[in-house]
Structure 1
Amino acid sequence: MTKKSTKAADAKPQTLVDHVYHEILNRILYNIWGTGHQALEQELAEELGVSRTPVREALIRLQRDGLVKVVPRHGMRVLPISLKDIQEIHQILTSLEALAVELAAARNLSDSDLKLLEKTTRRMEIAHASGDIKAWAEADEDFHCALVSLSGNRILTEVVDNFWGRAQRARLTMLSLRKSTEESTIEHTRLLKAIRDGNPSLAREALEQHRKRGIANLAELMEQHRNILKLS
């Protein structure tokens, strides 16, 4: 999986609309523009140094993604995070990633591929030990991106990308409220071992358990901070 959904600088967009889309997406995902933020098309065009046409097309895509509401004569408004949407998206992502790890575990990955996963896992362990939640989250994202990419299925990678951004918005918003990264770090190590051992069924089981616990914890945090998050 590419990281275009969360890091505009890495997206390498091929069109002006792609560029505008990822610039706005990045601001929403990292809560630079929070729930309720409004901006006119002309304001966005001036800020991004483009005409209104690519802005309009990008906003239509973002509205389709469920991130903004396009308001006639008022540009766009950032929509609140929906707990129900996040739960449904994670159900889809869990199934897709479970397939990805099965495929990866069955591929007899090369040493260089395994070292990529080992490196990100080690980064998570170091970040957890030092209490650096931001570094841990970046390593976690890199791990999951690598997992899907190593499935060897290009279409699967593209489909996961379509849902990744919306799931990441809630995850990044709740990042500072996480109680601990210990259990998740251990789960990544367990998942890596199953892939290294070439055990597709065990890899799938480890991924599903990891995601199930993760979304349960996320839902609990979102409910606890409902007023702050302005949940819909």
Structure 2
Amino acid sequence: MPPTTKEDELSSVEPESVSERMNQADIAYSRLKKLILDGTLPAGAQMLEQEAAERLDMSRTPVREAMVRLRQDGMVEIRPRHGMRVLPVSARDMADIYEVLTALEGTAAEAVARRGLSARPLNALRGAVTDMGKALEAGDLAAWAEADERFHSQLVQMSGNTRLIQMVGQLWDQAHRARMLTLKLRPTPTNSVAEHAALVDAIASGDPAAARQIHEDHRRRAGTMLVELLERLGLSQL
């Protein structure tokens, strides 16, 4: 057997070290994004690489990679020697986001209805609708929002369109802060349960055109309401 060379030694450890670094970057990305989405890092907040690394108890390399991913998501900007700054979401941003969401999720609803769903995924959608109704009856808007997001996430995932799933995910992250900060300022979403139930019925009956129309109408109403609320409250950005 030939002797082990230095190159062999390096190649034997490289995959593990790269994999470990990637896992750390994923963790850093997930944790920094959560700080932004839950409002711990509000719009305008700045964080240096070293500060983030100390907060997350990890090295600067995965933190740097996480910040680049957050910039690609449109959630932060990166400034030399200043780390990242959390970008605001304006009423105009929300109008643009909902316009694109309406088109993308309408496409997803149409695709799901055309392909059809078995009993299990249909029951998952119906379960989310049921949970939305229970949350409204209990006056628990946070639980309603969680069930609503679960419904939309499941629907988009069921489309099977990887690129669509990724794009919708980025838009949802950008819209999340505005949705949650205005949750208790919006009118009670009394029609949401019926609208979601109607969408599930259209999917179950295999009617792609109806599924798309129902979902697009729902999204347009929601987007218009949110943007009008932001403008009425004078919230130029969040």
Q: Structure 2 length normalisation: TM-score? A: 0.85
Task: State the percentage of identical aligned residues.
Answer: 44
Q: In the alignment, what sits opposite 1:217?
A: 225
Q: In the alignment, what sits opposite 2:237?
A: 231
Q: In the alignment, what sits opposite 2:90?
A: 82
| Alpha-carbon contact 2:89-2:175 (below 8 Å) kept | no
Query: Which ranges in structure 1 are unaligned for 5 or more consecutive residues?
Result: 1-13
Superposed CA deviations along residues 127-165 of structure 1, whole A, max 9, x for unmatched, are 111110000000001100111122233333233223221
The one-letter code matched in structure 2 to 1:189 is: A
In 2, Cα distance between equivalents of 1:37 and 1:84: 21
Change (3 A) 1:231 1:159: closer
| Alpha-carbon contact 1:101-1:200 (below 8 Å) kept | yes
> Given the alignment of the two structures, is residue 30 of structure 1 paired with residue 44 of structure 2, yes or no?
no
Q: Which protein shows a greater Rg?
A: 2
In 2, Cα distance between equivalents of 1:69 and 1:192: 39
Q: In the alignment, what sits opposite 2:69?
A: 61
Alignment length (residue pairs): 217
> Given the alignment of the two structures, is residue 111 of structure 1 paired with residue 95 of structure 2, yes or no?
no
Of the structure 1 ranges 17-26 and 167-176, higher mean CA displacement relative to structure 2 is found in 167-176
In 1, Cα distance between equivalents of 2:234 and 2:24: 36
The one-letter code matched in structure 1 to 2:237 is: L
In 1, Cα distance between equivalents of 2:71 and 2:154: 28
Change (3 A) 1:152 1:77: closer
> Given the alignment of the two structures, is residue 152 of structure 1 paired with residue 169 of structure 2, yes or no?
no
| Alpha-carbon contact 1:45-1:55 (below 8 Å) kept | yes
Of the structure 1 ranges 145-154 and 95-104, higher mean CA displacement relative to structure 2 is found in 145-154
> Given the alignment of the two structures, is residue 205 of structure 1 paired with residue 213 of structure 2, yes or no?
yes
The one-letter code matched in structure 2 to 1:137 is: A
Q: Structure 1 length normalisation: TM-score? A: 0.87
- Cα deviation, residue 63, structure 1: 2.3
In 1, Cα distance between equivalents of 2:167 and 2:43: 26
Query: Which ranges in structure 2 are unaligned for 5 or more consecutive residues?
Result: 1-21
> Given the alignment of the two structures, is residue 127 of structure 1 paired with residue 135 of structure 2, yes or no?
yes
In 2, Cα distance between equivalents of 1:149 and 1:76: 30
Alignment of 1:14-53 (within 5 A): 15-53=23-61
Q: In the alignment, what sits opposite 1:4?
A: none
* SS of 2:237 mapped into structure 1: coil
Superposed CA deviations along residues 172-203 of structure 1, whole A, max 9, x for unmatched, are 22222222110222211111111111111001
- Cα deviation, residue 223, structure 1: 1.4
- Which of these residues, 160, 171, 174, is aligned with residue 163 of structure 1? 171
* SS of 2:84 mapped into structure 1: strand
In 1, Cα distance between equivalents of 2:72 and 2:164: 20
In 2, Cα distance between equivalents of 1:100 and 1:133: 26
* SS of 2:133 mapped into structure 1: helix
Moved over 3 A (4+): none
* SS of 1:76 mapped into structure 2: strand
* SS of 2:137 mapped into structure 1: helix
The one-letter code matched in structure 2 to 1:190 is: A
In 2, Cα distance between equivalents of 1:24 and 1:165: 12
- Cα deviation, residue 72, structure 1: 2.4
In 1, Cα distance between equivalents of 2:90 and 2:186: 19
| Alpha-carbon contact 1:81-1:170 (below 8 Å) kept | yes
| Alpha-carbon contact 1:38-1:75 (below 8 Å) kept | yes
